[in-house]
Structure 1
Amino acid sequence: MSNNQLLGMDNVGIVVESLDDAISFFSEIGLTLQGRGMVAGAWAGCVTGLGEQSVEIAMMVTPDGHSKIELSKFLNPTPISDHRTSPVNSLGYLRVMFTVKDIDELVARLCKRGAELVGDIVQYQDSYRLCYIRGVEGILVGLAEELDSK
């Protein structure tokens, strides 16, 4: 019998330049702003290993309440690298994927707001329609629409 201590996944973190733009983008997808505030001081730096830091964060939550994205804007120290435009076969964290109801409508709405479709909207067997989009600041997001199996 396993003594698994994992209770769930709390959130995925994404560092951004504009918190307002990122909140707007993820709100358009359907997430809700759960809270916004500052995380600062040596205690926070003890967690991240960055030392003294000042970060403005916004927590976004999915409609079912089970998944969250923590958007972070580092004021101090400033970000040191940028991999937002890396191709999908790059090492490291790649993207977050959302299950959506009407992928065509959502992609059209997001593209009107400046997002770009990475490839095409494709169908995987009789199960899903899928795509990747690059949204605000080049953030890569996957969208999946589950197909009725009727």
Structure 2
Amino acid sequence: MAVQRMDNVAIVVDDLEAAVAFYSELGLEVEGRASIEGAVADETVGLEGVRTDIAMMRMPDGHGRLELTVYHHPAAVSSQPPSLPPNTLGLHRVMFAVDDIEDTIARLRPHGAELLGRVADYEGIYRLCYLRGPAGIIVALAEQIG
């Protein structure tokens, strides 16, 4: 049996509405929202008394989603400060292909995006950059230019 697809990547955030606004500005669409709690949630994640709200964000092409999650109980814990560098072990980043990298950066800045370095040219094929997004997640952008 083989994997059928990657369904979604979950990001735990402390401000669900701000995260939805950030990823909406990037071009993702809210597919649905739900409050999650009960025995199945507890069993699935291995915690007791789970109460969360989620927003499922769909990619513009319909293939792939981000699940933005805010934990009401038990409270979310920070395993690392949001300023750790891109070479930290663990989930590294989420990358999105965009059609205009400068415009995308400009639209995300009012939503708290911070450019980590600068926009770089990769062999005349891509323009690339890393931003710090909601919950300290690194969001990479790639614009194909060649």
Same fold flag (TM > 0.5) = yes
Query: Which residue of 92, 95, 105 maps to 1:94?
Result: 92
Q: Which residue is equivalent to 1:79?
A: 76
Instruction: Provide the rounded CA distance (Å) in 2 between the counterparts of 1:79 and 1:14.
Output: 11
- Deviation string 1:84-136 (CA, Å, 9 cap, x unpaired) is 32211111102100000000111122123331100010011122110001123
1:69 maps to 66
| Corresponding position of 1:43 | 40
Partner residue in 1 for 2:125 = 127
- How far is 1:139 from its partner? 2.6
Regions of 4+ moved over 4 Å: none
Rounded Cα–Cα distance in structure 2 between residues aligned with 1:87 and 1:45: 32
Match of 2:26 among 14, 29, 33: 29
Greater C-alpha radius of gyration: 1
Gaps of 5+ in 2: none
- Between the aligned partners of 2:110 and 2:18, the Cα distance in structure 1 is 14
Query: 2:110 and 2:56 mapped to 1: Cα distance?
Result: 25
The letter for the 2-side match of 1:23 is V
Q: Percent identity?
A: 46
Residues 43-69 of structure 1, C-alpha deviations (whole Å, 9 max, x = no match): 111111112211100000110000100
Task: Return the TM-score normalized by structure 2.
Answer: 0.93
Q: Would you say the 8 A contact 2:12–2:135 is kept in 1? A: no
User: How many residues are treated as equivalent by the alignment?
Assistant: 145
Q: Distance in 2 between matches of 1:116 and 1:146?
A: 21
**Equivalent position SS for 2:25:** helix
What are structure 1's unaligned runs of at least 5 residues? Answer: none
Cα distance change, pair 60–126 in 1 and its aligned pair in 2 (3 A): same
Q: CA offset at residue 138 of structure 1?
A: 2.7
What is the alpha-carbon distance in structure 2 between the residues aligned to residue 88 and residue 142 of structure 1? 11
- Alignment check: 8 A CA contact 2:98 2:142 kept: yes
CA RMSD of aligned residues (A): 1.3
Preserved contact between residue 18 and residue 111 of structure 2 (Cα < 8 Å): no
